[in-house]
């Protein structure tokens, strides 16, 4: 591991992650994370250590190993006095301590990310492959959040490495542990079995070891929480895809994902190189067992995304990234100038997408306008559920009182992502609210929009950076509410 170029890539990657570590974490200005999945992940750690399960309302659900390891990660920081989790008595209590806690949790994501890069290097022995992987838009965006996603990629690459090695039983343990990170890694079982067939190993004993490791570390509560597992699987595989018919894409979902969104989240140049590499690898028709296993992994993970419909995009598509980079590297020895051009394009696209994190957030800008223009006693109308509506910080931190728009509307109503709803959805509660506002004589007094890179539809549906693309203030006519000019 003495390759200085590899460690140069890792250091630059770590610097980019640390640079965005404070974006959207709880603090005095806003009590909840901007990415609410992080809040649910923290709840999962709390519930796991208090109730021995994460299959409880308000948590991340299903497998437990990721949360066990995250809880263990917190211990040295707790012993060193940097954090004190028991000092947080409720979800909005002790915000300075929550700020520190999420710093530590996001560093846990960075640790998973570094592990992924090291394992990719061990698989390819090529620092350029690591660079292509590390500076992908989806990888850099998700590396700044405390979620499963980066750990999923690290677990995938680690499993591949051991499946291609000679320690078959250990590979079974690693595969079982990897599946315990997140249920979406169940296709790794097919990769493990495939490697056993390709390399003529003792299949039965290996599968028994793999399943035992998965049951013990991933889903140990399945015997008394089985109904919760069934509910969650139904929500992901049955309920969510039914929403695809409500979206205005102008094309089939698969065409949109493959032809549009994947280029946005993986980087257009690298994504194009992947397709060329895939054709080259398929035309080889060789008997290289390593290449067969990589292509098989790409197929099984691709098939696992099909039932999700539009949900197969965004962060869930990250499971494809390790295989895409491996296909590129295995296809042929690419000219250095071509890889340099693709890498430069990757960095340029990633920088443009991430720029929004380093600009004043639209929720903060809207809050400043509220403080300067709306009387403090103003009650604003908001949609249900407020914590998921990307509302201005001034609403979420209690500077203004709010009421949900279920009955009579207040004089001022805030609608977030209303323009998105009009662009993308055929019907939704947000569209119903916009129609009601129009019918009851409200006017759009002010609207705030962030500067996003590329196609706004791809930005919104990819959701790599959870931010509203519009925050609109609607005011009822004729009520004498004076709002000072901006």
Q: What digits encode the pLDDT tens for the residues 93-126?
A: 889 999 999 999 999 999 999 999 999 999 999 9
Task: State yes or no: pLDDT of 485 exceeds 50.
Answer: no
Residue 464 burial class via C-beta count within 10 angstroms: exposed 0-12, middle 13-18, buried 19 and up:
buried
DSSP string covering 270-338: HHHHHHHHHHHHHHH----HHHHHHHHHHHHHHHHHGGGGGGGSGGGGGGGHHHHHHHHHHH----HHH
What pLDDT, on the 0 to 100 scale, is given for residue 200? 87
User: What is the biggest distance separating any 2 CA atoms in the chain, rounded to whole angstroms?
Assistant: 81
What pLDDT, on the 0 to 100 scale, is given for residue 194? 95
Q: How do beta strands 412-416 and 442-448 pair?
A: unpaired
Mean pLDDT of the chain: 90
CA distance 101 to 91: 12
What pLDDT, on the 0 to 100 scale, is given for residue 52? 73
Task: State yes or no: pLDDT of 482 exceeds 70.
Answer: no
Q: How do beta strands 401-404 and 379-382 pair?
A: parallel
E strand or H helix that includes residue 66: helix 65-79
Confidence of residue 225 (pLDDT cuts 50, 70, 90): low
Closest CA to 37 of 148, 119, 130, 133: 148
CA distance 237 to 241: 7
Average pLDDT over residues 469-482: 80
What pLDDT, on the 0 to 100 scale, is given for residue 50? 79
Percent share of the chain, pLDDT over 90: 76
Residues 6+ apart with CB under 8 A from 358: 19, 20
What pLDDT, on the 0 to 100 scale, is given for residue 466? 93
Residues 6+ apart with CB under 8 A from 310: 241, 243, 244, 247, 253, 256, 257, 461
Tokens of 109: 């994501």
Task: State yes or no: pLDDT of 239 exceeds 60.
Answer: no
What pLDDT, on the 0 to 100 scale, is given for residue 29? 86
Instruction: Kindly report, residue by residue over 269-323, the tens digit of the pLDDT.
Output: 999 999 999 999 999 876 789 999 999 999 999 999 999 999 999 999 999 999 9
Highest-pLDDT range among 53-57, 152-156, 179-183, 197-201: 152-156
Highest-pLDDT range among 38-42, 147-151, 404-408: 147-151
HSE toward the beta carbon, residue 71, CA cutoff 13 A: 18
What pLDDT, on the 0 to 100 scale, is given for residue 477? 81
Task: State yes or no: pLDDT of 226 exceeds 90.
Answer: no
Confidence of residue 232 (pLDDT cuts 50, 70, 90): low
Q: Are 468 and 277 in contact (CB under 8 A)?
A: no
What pLDDT, on the 0 to 100 scale, is given for residue 412? 95
Percent share of the chain, pLDDT over 70: 92
Task: State yes or no: pLDDT of 372 exceeds 50.
Answer: yes
Q: Are 346 and 267 in contact (CB under 8 A)?
A: yes
Q: Which of 41-55, 251-265, 442-456 has the lowest mean pLDDT?
A: 41-55
DSSP 8-state secondary structure symbol assigned to residue 30: B
CA distance 304 to 186: 9
Tokens 């706004």 correspond to what residue?
Answer: 456
Tokens of 159: 């499993």
Confidence of residue 83 (pLDDT cuts 50, 70, 90): very high
What pLDDT, on the 0 to 100 scale, is given for residue 486? 38
Instruction: Please indicate whether residue 222 or residue 365 has the higher confidence score (pLDDT).
Output: 365
Q: Are 176 and 65 in contact (CB under 8 A)?
A: no
What pLDDT, on the 0 to 100 scale, is given for residue 1? 47
Q: Which of 51-55, 144-148, 173-177 has the lowest mean pLDDT?
A: 51-55
Task: State yes or no: pLDDT of 37 exceeds 80.
Answer: yes
What pLDDT, on the 0 to 100 scale, is given for residue 109? 98
Tokens of 416: 């977030």
DSSP 8-state secondary structure symbol assigned to residue 464: S
């Amino acid at each position: 591991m003495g390759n200085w170029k590899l460690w140069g890539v890792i250091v630059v990657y770590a610097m980019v992650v640390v640079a965005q570590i404070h974006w959207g974490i709880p603090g005095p200005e806003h009590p909840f994370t901007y990415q609410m999945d992080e809040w649910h992940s923290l709840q999962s750690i709390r519930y796991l250590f208090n109730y021995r399960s994460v299959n409880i309302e308000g948590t991340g659900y299903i497998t437990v190993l990721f949360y066990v390891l995250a809880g263990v990660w917190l211990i040295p920081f707790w012993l060193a006095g940097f954090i004190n989790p028991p000092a947080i008595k409720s979800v909005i209590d002790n915000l300075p301590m929550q700020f520190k806690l999420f710093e530590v949790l996001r560093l846990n994501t960075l640790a998973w990310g570094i592990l992924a890069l090291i394992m990719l290097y061990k698989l390819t022995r090529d620092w350029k492959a690591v660079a292509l992987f590390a500076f992908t838009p989806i990888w850099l965006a998700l590396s700044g959040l405390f979620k499963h996603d980066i750990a999923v990629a690290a677990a995938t690459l680690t499993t591949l490495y051991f499946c291609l090695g000679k320690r078959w039983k250990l590979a079974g343990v690693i595969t079982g542990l990897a599946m315990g990170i997140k249920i979406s890694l169940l296709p790794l079982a097919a990769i493990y079995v495939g490697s056993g067939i390709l390399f003529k190993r003792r299949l039965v004993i290996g599968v028994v070891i793999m399943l035992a490791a998965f049951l013990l570390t991933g889903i140990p509560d399945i015997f008394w929480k089985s109904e919760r597992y069934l509910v969650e699987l139904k929500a992901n595989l049955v309920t969510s895809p039914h929403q695809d018919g409500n979206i205005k894409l102008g094309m089939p979902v698969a065409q949109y994902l493959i032809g549009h969104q994947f280029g946005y989240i993986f980087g257009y140049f690298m994504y194009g190189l992947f397709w060329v590499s895939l054709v080259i690898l398929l035309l080889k028709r060789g008997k290289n067992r390593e290449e067969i296993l990589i292509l098989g992994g790409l197929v099984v993970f691709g098939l696992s995304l099909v039932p999700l419909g539009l949900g197969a995009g965004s962060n869930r598509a990250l499971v494809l990234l390790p295989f895409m980079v491996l296909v590129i590297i295995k296809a042929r020895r690419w000219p250095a100038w071509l890889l340099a051009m693709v890498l430069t394009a990757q960095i340029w696209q990633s920088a443009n997408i991430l720029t929004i994190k380093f600009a004043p957030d639209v929720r903060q800008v809207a809050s400043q306008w509220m403080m300067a223009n709306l009387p403090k006693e103003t009650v604003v109308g908001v949609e249900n559920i407020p914590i998921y509506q990307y509302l201005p910080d001034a609403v979420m931190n209690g500077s203004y009182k709010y009421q949900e728009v279920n009955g009579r509307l207040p004089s001022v109503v805030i609608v977030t992502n209303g323009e998105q709803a009009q662009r993308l959805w055929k019907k939704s509660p947000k569209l119903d609210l916009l129609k009601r506002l129009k019918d009851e004589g409200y006017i759009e007094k002010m609207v705030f929009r962030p500067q996003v890179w590329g196609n706004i539809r791809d930005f919104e549906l990819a959701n790599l950076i959870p931010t509203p693309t519009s925050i609109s203030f609607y005011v009822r006519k004729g009520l004498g509410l004076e709002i000072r000019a901006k």
